[in-house]
A and B are shown apart, each in its own frame.
Chain A
Amino acid sequence: MTSTNAPVLDIQNLTVDFDTPTGTIAAVRGVDMHVGAGETVAIVGESGSGKSQAMMAAMGLLAANGRAGGRVTYDGADLLNLPLAKLNTLRGRKITMIFQEPMTSLDPLYTIGRQLAEPMVVHGGLSWKAAKTRALELLKLVNIPDPDRKIKAYPYEMSGGQRQRVMIAMALANDPDVLIADEPTTALDVTTQAQILQLLADLQKRLGMAVMFITHDLGIVRRIADRVYVMKSGDVVESGETDRIFTSPEHPYTRMLLDAEPTGAKPPVPAASPPLLEAQKVGVAFSVDAGLFKPRHELKAVDGVSFALRRGQTLGIVGESGSGKSTLGRAVLNLLPATGRVVYNGDVISGKSRAHMQALRRHLQLVFQDPFGSLSPRLTVGQIVSEGLLVHEPQLSAADRDARACQALEEVALDPAMRNRYPHEFSGGQRQRIAIARTMVLKPDLVVLDEPTSALDRTIQKQIVELLRDLQAAHELTYLFISHDLAVVRALADTVMVMKQGKVIEAGPTDVIFQSPRDDYTRELIGAAMLTQSQMMATG
């Protein structure tokens, strides 16, 4: 890979402004970037740093209230001032994009083959037959298993990783010069992420295109990028060769990003700590309704999982999506009909009716992955946090509830003065803090944390991990920590349970699992996740 040749895409002094009712927001404030043929350039920054908007502006894809300024030169033409018809001949053909969310980027009503072939027929002037042949070639190129069959498949029949491969295939259909990848692996499991990155690196070598890779994860950058731009609030704060950035970062922000991997380990709980939760052979099966021509069958989401937790312990449950780890978390809380036995504090809670669970609910809490979906948009933060009190301590007056909500917000390091604001006014990390405050206000014993850090930037993740650790120490909380992110699990859990397809593959103390995993699957997971970290540790 050489980076000495002239830039294919040259961005000069690019600005992006958004007009909002409350004034103009400068999302990108004059950035210079370029990428040469055969080069991979990474743009790194946290959410809101303007990295995606800069690329959107370059492609002419800004929202209606956005304005772009500066120059974006491709092949001698300024993309920003190009007439739409001309621009359309370039974007999607010579400059293509892949997005973060492979689930929503494909039309669910058409087969993969048709979606791949259609642009070739409409724009490329190929016949349907030739386009189908080309589509098949592309699917082979992106290593989709069994391409002859998959070309007739609908998007819902494919996994997230496969869909992302299809998206890449689509982007490659017209031999692009520049591929812009906007967080293409963020929504994927670690092992899938590793495969997709490998694929991208591979394709680039073979096809010699320029790749601009937008990500918030410096670990990924290390593996694939030649050069890095670090963006913060609309400015490029640092740029340079990848090695240089990793070995001697100059800007404190870059250093902070590099340092954002959660560290430390949880101190063990005393042996005398009483058992709090015990699960025996918990199973959850979803029955798939019988159709006219197919028999009814059961899908075992969780299959005979047992574990025991003592007060103050953290059990980390890891596994890829679809492994049944979230379902297990809900089954333990008796939020789903499940088989087996769950004992909480000497009380059998499995199979209890909703009314009987009511009194126990305050001790058993749940924090969700998506901090945007888990807070009701029409309630103020104060109302959200104090809702549990309304149910479990109805004798409290409104003023008392308010005071307790303030207390809980302070505990998660949020300013209680903000309790009259609405969730959409907060960032992802702050929302997750609010979600945690909502559980803390009831002073629970057990908190099931369902991927609480997955939707957050690395630096925010680190803060949340520290917050969770502090809260655990302060209130002797017991956590059931569900995650696919092994770095976070390592920093928080006493014991780790690895799940695959509803079954426990391997379980044991965190150190043992991480240092000497017995199962291949565990090794693969750790390999995919830790590669980045160990690399960073080796150099940094």
Chain B
Amino acid sequence: MTVSTSDVPHAPQKGRSLWDDARDRLFANRAAVASMIVLGVIALLSIIGPMLSPHPFDKVYRDYVKVPASLQAYPRPDQVQPAFEALAKRARLTIESYDRVGDSIVAEVSSRRAIDPRTTRYFDRSDLFKDAALTDMAEDQRAGRLRADINFVHFYFGTDANGRDMMTRTFIAGRVSLTIGLLATAVAISIGVLYGATSGYLGGRVDRLMMRVVDILYSLPFIFFVIMLVVFFGRNFVLMFIAVGAVEWLDMARIVRGQTLTIKRQEYVQAAEAMGVSDTGIVRRHIIPNTLGPVVVYMTLLVPKVILLESFLSFLGLGVQEPMTSWGVLISEGARNLQGSAWMLIFPSIFLTSTLFALNFIGDGLRDALDPKDR
């Protein structure tokens, strides 16, 4: 209800814009706030997670291929001795005594020939041991004491089929997916809003021409279009934006044009025309700000759509290139290894779905918050 009376009590200097009201309503929406927190955490993990992680995202641990996700450190106690023995065999050493002292292994070793000090490298190269050293060498160099520390590593999300840490890869993939989601959406929205607002505002023949162009672009089969781009330019990160952005702005242009058609009949637009404001001025100051409500809502729905599209393209093998990865790629690999190593599918899926859920809830919240009827 409106407050009548011409003497509104002394109000604060600063006015509350419709955006302020919308923000308050959004923050009152629990699902939306929770989603924003979830999304914030995922974004933060994607950005700083790979920096903090002890494993580079492309490092291959040959000894830990497809190990399950676990909170305990690798190697497991029962793995150590067989691994040590195998390494010793390869280094042509005979183990006289084997002893575990704390987190190190101390073993008396001998060999038929003189032991080369570089033998320790066999142990260092293994993912299980580090800082191997030969001490107390016999006179003839054929026996000595080998001491090696156990290299404890954690794979909280397990490792993939190449022995790479899934956690770091999931975070890195988040970077890629979110970036593509945001950038492609930004591209789609800026083209779409400008195009739609111009088309709708100018109307008449220009409008018809511009919208027919949109219709023609609509009729291009998307996958065919992407395959063509990939064939011509090779697989490329930037290409993803172009492909996705070039398709997604069409929806945006139609939405904004529809909005513009109603807005341009509003009296404030007529008032601006009567005042002699130029077309650019009207579109910029009056039309675009007033279409932004639906645009913002559509944006939150477009980001997940783009992320899904990217996943889909990556799933088909048209997406980002190894060793770089995205959630789509990870899920595709996970799906192939579902039998026996489900963690490869589960963790990236959790991240992708919670991001999508969060974005959709935020979109819902925004739609409610920006609905002018709900005042």
**Stretch of A47-55, A195-203, A278-286, A300-308 lying at the B interface:** A47-55
Given A46-B4, A370-B267, check contact A377 B18 (CB 8 Å): yes
**Stretch of B58-66, B176-184, B272-280, B356-364 lying at the A interface:** B272-280
**How near does chain B come to A504, taking the closest CB pair, in angstroms?**
24
Given A391-B281, A422-B16, check contact A366 B6 (CB 8 Å): no
Whether the Cβ atoms of B276 and A362 lie closer than 8 Å is yes
**Residues of the B chain whose Cβ atoms lie less than 8 Å from the Cβ of A233:** 5
Cβ contact of B6, chosen from A53, A381, A435, A460, cutoff 8 A: A460
Cβ contact of B275, chosen from A50, A388, A425, cutoff 8 A: A388
> Interface 1/0s, chain B 325-341, versus A by CB < 8 A?
00000000000000000
Q: Does A424 contact B (CB under 8 A)?
A: yes
**Stretch of A426-434, A475-483, A486-494 lying at the B interface:** A426-434
Q: Does A223 contact B (CB under 8 A)?
A: no
**Residues of the B chain whose Cβ atoms lie less than 8 Å from the Cβ of A369:** 267
Whether the Cβ atoms of B275 and A53 lie closer than 8 Å is no
Cβ contact of A375, chosen from B3, B11, B268, B277, cutoff 8 A: B268
Q: Does A76 contact B (CB under 8 A)?
A: no
Q: How large is the interface on A (under 10, 10 to 19, 20 to 34, 35 or more residues)?
A: 35 or more
Q: Does A457 contact B (CB under 8 A)?
A: yes
Q: Does B2 contact A (CB under 8 A)?
A: yes
Whether the Cβ atoms of A390 and B271 lie closer than 8 Å is no
**Residues of the A chain whose Cβ atoms lie less than 8 Å from the Cβ of B268:** 373-376
Whether the Cβ atoms of B17 and A378 lie closer than 8 Å is yes
Whether the Cβ atoms of B275 and A25 lie closer than 8 Å is no
B side interface size, CB within 8 A: 37
**Residues of the B chain whose Cβ atoms lie less than 8 Å from the Cβ of A428:** 2, 4
Q: Does B82 contact A (CB under 8 A)?
A: no
Cβ contact of A430, chosen from B6, B16, B266, B271, cutoff 8 A: B6
Q: Does B154 contact A (CB under 8 A)?
A: no
Q: Does B204 contact A (CB under 8 A)?
A: no
Q: Does A365 contact B (CB under 8 A)?
A: yes
**How near does chain A come to B301, taking the closest CB pair, in angstroms?**
22
**Residues of the B chain whose Cβ atoms lie less than 8 Å from the Cβ of A18:** 1
Q: How far is the CA of A218 from the CA of B186 in the complex (A)?
A: 56
**Stretch of B141-149, B220-228, B282-290, B311-319 lying at the A interface:** B282-290
Q: Which residue of B lies closest to A426 (CB)?
A: B8
Cβ contact of B4, chosen from A48, A361, A362, A375, cutoff 8 A: A48
**Residues of the B chain whose Cβ atoms lie less than 8 Å from the Cβ of A391:** 275-278, 281
Q: How far is the CA of A335 from the CA of B269 in the complex (A)?
A: 12
**Residues of the A chain whose Cβ atoms lie less than 8 Å from the Cβ of B4:** 46-49, 427-429, 457, 460
Q: Does B206 contact A (CB under 8 A)?
A: no
**How near does chain A come to B134, taking the closest CB pair, in angstroms?**
74
Whether the Cβ atoms of A27 and B1 lie closer than 8 Å is yes
Whether the Cβ atoms of A417 and B13 lie closer than 8 Å is yes
Q: How far is the CA of A126 from the CA of B286 in the complex (A)?
A: 52
**Residues of the B chain whose Cβ atoms lie less than 8 Å from the Cβ of A50:** 1
**How near does chain A come to B323, taking the closest CB pair, in angstroms?**
47
Whether the Cβ atoms of B1 and A376 lie closer than 8 Å is no
Cβ contact of A361, chosen from B5, B6, B274, cutoff 8 A: B274
Q: Does A518 contact B (CB under 8 A)?
A: no
Q: Which residue of A lies closest to B2 (CB)?
A: A48
**Residues of the A chain whose Cβ atoms lie less than 8 Å from the Cβ of B205:** none
**Residues of the A chain whose Cβ atoms lie less than 8 Å from the Cβ of B16:** 421-422, 425
Q: Which residue of A lies closest to B24 (CB)?
A: A21
**Residues of the A chain whose Cβ atoms lie less than 8 Å from the Cβ of B235:** none
Q: Does A118 contact B (CB under 8 A)?
A: no
A residues whose Cβ falls under 8 Å from a Cβ of B: 18, 21, 25, 27, 46-50, 53, 233, 333, 335, 357-358, 361-362, 364-366, 368-370, 373-381, 383, 387-388, 390-392, 417-418, 420-422, 424-430, 435, 438, 442, 457, 460, 463
Q: What are the nearest 3 A-B pairs in CB distance?
A: A421-B15, A361-B276, A48-B4
B residues whose Cβ falls under 8 Å from a Cβ of A: 1-6, 8, 11, 13-19, 21, 24-25, 28, 266-268, 270-278, 281, 285-286, 289-290, 292
In the complex, 19 of the A-B residue pairs with CB atoms within 8 angstroms, ordered by the A residue number, are A27-B1, A46-B4, A48-B5, A361-B275, A365-B274, A366-B270, A376-B285, A378-B17, A378-B19, A379-B286, A421-B11, A421-B15, A422-B18, A425-B15, A425-B16, A427-B4, A428-B4, A430-B8, A463-B6
* 11 extra interface residue pairs, beta carbon distance < 8 Å, beyond A362-B276, A425-B11: A21-B28, A53-B1, A368-B271, A373-B268, A387-B277, A418-B11, A422-B17, A427-B3, A428-B4, A457-B4, A460-B4
